[in-house]
Amino acid sequence: MPKITFLGAGSTIFAKNVLGDSLLTPALRESEIALYDIDQKRLGESQRMLENINGNCNGGRADIVAYTDRRKALAGADYVVNAIQVGGYDPCTITDFEIPKKYGLRQTIADTLGIGGIFRSLRTIPVMMDFARDMEELCPDAWFLNYTNPMSILTGAMLHDTGVKTVGLCHSVQVCAPDLLKGLDMPSEGVVAKIAGINHMAWLLEVTRDGEDLYPEIKRRALAREGKHDDMVRYEMMKQFGYYVTESSEHNAEYLPYFIKSRYPELVDRFNIPLDEYPRRCVKQIADWETMREQIVNDASLEHKRSHEYASYIMEAMETNVPYKINGNVLNTGLITNLPSQAVVEVPCLVDGSGVTPCHVGELPAQLAALNRTNINVQLLTLEAARTLKKEHIYHAAMLDPHTSAELSLDDIRSMVDDMISAHGDWLPKYK
């Protein structure tokens, strides 16, 4: 049976979904599950939680081991799930928000693009390269299932600069069409969706039921929807550019130059944009954890139902050679013909015993490809900065960011980047 290694296992709730799913999957039930985290307390909590699920739902068939030695956790692994967050809420997330705010640059999530996404990448890529070196030595045939953001940049680092078999996985694709239809009081049963683009800015290219195009009715209802709600940025993008985007409005508000603007502060209220949303979530999660610990970690009768996370379905398809379709983040080897070949794209992929085989999509509508390229520019320059350790490329990435460049002068962008580098200190390698 396979060995599944989970890096960042102190992410207890996410570990519950991915590894709980694995414990409920026949082809994975007798796996060795290797847990690794630098936080030993949270590591132990995740182990206790999974042992409860293993006993209650799986007859104790899996072998669950917590490791403080990463190399031992990786040795002989068949699958490596990555869910780390380098720098955590304090100090790094606080830095990602507070320094830009001094320059008048406001963010919502700051984990994918923008100045926050750039610096989250730069402090995470060196750790990922350490993982890759260990994997190339200790488990060279393992698949690396990356859930850590910034998805496109980190997956790109693994695919461009290592020999590790890697696919990036996100939660937003599976729920895109169902959540859109639910918000418009339309049933989702029998709906077929085609989605492609880049992570957090992939596009619902087709949405049909029994061959009928649902987009005309979707757009009619979206335009008629009254009152404030959480999908207003995505509705506006669908109105202006013709297609619905996979990731949430609070995310996309900061990937674009149109919505968070100091010159037009009324837009934040008009489109119901939650500035500083991610720090609020972090504070709430920290405050709620004591109660959640009792419900999740210390509940000896804890059970689990298989979630919509892709990881267990991918491992099952590889183990059984029964095909399964996902949307994965992979290198653009001619898959989307009007996006750069160096980019990581999010496209339909077939998974079976031979691995992950991406599907050809062809051209995106021109306006959608153009929007994607504005984000890809930042991703590729951030990768270049991490690869070369040249500070100039950090400036370039920030100067090309749609939101940052719409708000700040070139001089202020340089100054802000310098302040961010200084504040991150030893969380970053030395740039020249």
Catalytic residues, by residue number, are 171
Residue 305 CB-density burial (10 A; 0-12 exposed, 13-18 middle, 19+ buried): exposed
360 among the known binding-site residues? no
Whether 399 contacts 410, CB under 8 Å: yes
**Rounded to the nearest 5°, which phi and psi values hold at 206?**
-140, 140
Amino acid, single-letter form, for residue 368: L
CB environment 85-121: b (16+ within 10 A), e (fewer): bbbebeebbebbbebbeebebbbbbbbbbbbbbbbbb
Look at strands 79-82 and 143-146 and give their pairing.
parallel
3-state secondary structure of 237: helix
DSSP state of 92: I
200 among the known binding-site residues? yes
Return the closest-CA partner of residue 119 out of 392, 398, 367.
398
Whether 371 contacts 148, CB under 8 Å: no
- In this structure, the dihedral spanned by the alpha carbons of residues 48, 35, 126 and 79, taken in order and rounded to 10 degrees, is -140
Question: How many residues belong to the chain?
Answer: 432
CB environment 405-414: b (16+ within 10 A), e (fewer): bbbbeeeebb
**Tokens at 4, concatenated:** 């599944």
Query: What's the rounded Cα separation, in Å, for the pair 317 and 311?
Result: 10
Cα dist from 170 to 238, 244, 251, 369, whole Å? 21, 17, 13, 20
139 among the known binding-site residues? no
Amino acid, single-letter form, for residue 217: E
Binding site membership: which residues? 149, 170, 200
Binding site membership for Mn(2+): which residues? 170, 200
Binding site membership for substrate: which residues? 149
